[in-house]
Amino acid sequence: MTDPKLRLHGVVKRFGTKLVLDHVDLDVSRGEVISLIGSSGSGKSTLLRCINLLEPTDDGVIELDGVDVAEPSLDADPIRRRIGMVFQSFNLFPHMTVLRNVTLGPRKVLGQSSREADTLARDLLGRIGLADKADEYPDRLSGGQQQRVAIVRALAMQPEIMLLDEITSALDPELVGEVLDLVRDLRTQGMTMLIATHEMEFAREISDRVCFLHAGRILEQGPPERLFTAPTEERTRAFLQRVLDLG
Amino acid sequence: MNPSGISRRQQFEKHQRRRSTVIATVSTVGAIALLVLLVPMIPGWDRVRASFLDGNTFRETFPKLPGRFWYDIQIFLICTPCILALGLLIAFARNVRSPALYPLRLFATLYTDVMRGVPMILWITIIGFGVPGLIQNRTWGKAVVWAGVALVVAYSAYVAEVFRAGIESVHESQRAAARSLGLSSRQTMVHIVLPQAVRRVVPALMNDMVSLQKDVALVSIVGPIEVLRQAGIAKAKFYNFTPYIGAAILFLCVSIPLTRLTDHLLARERRRMQGTAVR
Ligand SMILES: Nc1ncnc2c1ncn2[C@@H]1O[C@H](COP(=O)(O)OP(=O)(O)OP(=O)(O)O)[C@@H](O)[C@H]1O
Ligand SMILES: [Mg+2]
What DSSP line would sit under A87-134, residue for residue? -TT----TTS-HHHHHHHHHHHTS---HHHHHHHHHHHHHHTT-GGGT
Q: Is the dihedral of CA A115, A118, A123, A126 positive or negative?
A: negative
Q: Is the dihedral of CA A64, A70, A73, A78 positive or negative?
A: positive
Asked, for residue B120, whether it belongs to a domain, the answer is: yes
Asked, for residue B161, whether it belongs to a domain, the answer is: yes
CA A128 / ligand 2 centre spacing (Å): 26
Q: Which atom of ligand 1 is nearest to the CA of A43?
A: 18
Number of domains in chain B: 2
Residues B121 and B222 in one domain: yes
3-state secondary structure of B270: helix
Residues B142 and B99 in one domain: yes
Asked, for residue B222, whether it belongs to a domain, the answer is: yes
* Cβ contacts of A146 on chain B, cutoff 8 Å: none
Residues B116 and B186 in one domain: yes
Q: Say what the pLDDT of residue B279 is.
A: 37
Enumerate domains of chain A plus CATH numbers: 6-246 (3.40.50.300)
CA A163 / ligand 2 centre spacing (Å): 12
The CA dihedral of B34, B37, B39, B45, to the nearest 10 degrees, is: 180
CATH of the domain at B205: 1.10.3720.10
Q: Say what the pLDDT of residue B4 is.
A: 65
Helix (H), strand (E) at residue A182: helix A173-188
Q: Is A81 in Cβ contact with B176 (below 8 Å)?
A: no
The reported pTM is: 0.84
Residues B7 and B97 in one domain: no
In angstroms, the CA A195 to CA A193 distance is 6
pLDDT at residue B277 greater than cutoff 90 = no
Asked, for residue B44, whether it belongs to a domain, the answer is: no
Residues B144 and B9 in one domain: no
What mean pLDDT do residues B81-106 have? 92
Question: Which of the residues A69, A91, A163 would you substitute to probe the B interface, choosing the one with the greatest number of B C-beta atoms within 10 Å?
Answer: A91
Helices (H), chain B: 8-38, 45-52, 55-61, 65-95, 102-116, 120-123, 130, 143-169, 172-180, 185-188, 194-215, 227-238, 242-275
Q: Say what the pLDDT of residue A137 is.
A: 95
pLDDT in tens, A178-213: 999 999 999 999 999 999 999 999 999 999 999 999
Burial of A42 (0-12, 13-18, 19+ CB in 10 A): buried
Residues B27 and B97 in one domain: no
Which residues have CB under 6 Å of ligand 1? A 15, 20, 38, 40-46, 166
- Measure CB to CB from residue B177 to each of A81, A82, A91 and give the nearest one: A91
pLDDT at residue B1 greater than cutoff 80 = no
Asked, for residue B46, whether it belongs to a domain, the answer is: no
Residues B28 and B75 in one domain: no
Specify whether the CB–CB gap between B150 and B124 falls below 8 A. yes
The interface predicted TM-score (ipTM) is 0.93
Restricting to B residues 159-178, those with a Cβ less than 8 Å away from any Cβ of A are: 173-174, 176-178
* Cβ contacts of B276 on chain A, cutoff 8 Å: 94, 139
Mutate which of A45, A87, A242 for ligand 1 pocket (most atoms within 8 A of beta carbon): A45
Q: Say what the pLDDT of residue B271 is.
A: 78
Question: Which of the residues A112, A139, A167 would you substitute to probe the B interface, choosing the one with the greatest number of B C-beta atoms within 10 Å?
Answer: A139
Q: Say what the pLDDT of residue A84 is.
A: 96
Q: Say what the pLDDT of residue A45 is.
A: 96
In angstroms, the CA B168 to CA B187 distance is 16
* Per-residue H/E/C for B35-55: HHHHHHHCCCHHHHHHHHCCH
pLDDT in tens, B94-118: 988 888 999 999 999 999 999 999 9
Asked, for residue B45, whether it belongs to a domain, the answer is: no
Edge to edge, the sheet with strand A83-86 lists: A83-86, A161-165, A192-196, A33-37, A209-214, A217-222
Asked, for residue B43, whether it belongs to a domain, the answer is: no
In which domain, by residue range, is B11 found?
A: 1-38
Specify whether the CB–CB gap between A213 and A36 falls below 8 A. yes
Q: Which positions of chain A have pLDDT values less than 70? A: 1-2, 246-247
What mean pLDDT do residues B154-162 have? 96
Q: Is A85 in Cβ contact with B180 (below 8 Å)?
A: yes
pLDDT in tens, B25-68: 999 999 999 999 998 888 888 888 888 999 999 999 999 999 99
* Cβ contacts of B278 on chain A, cutoff 8 Å: 89, 143, 170
**Amino acid making up residue B81:** P
Asked, for residue B49, whether it belongs to a domain, the answer is: no
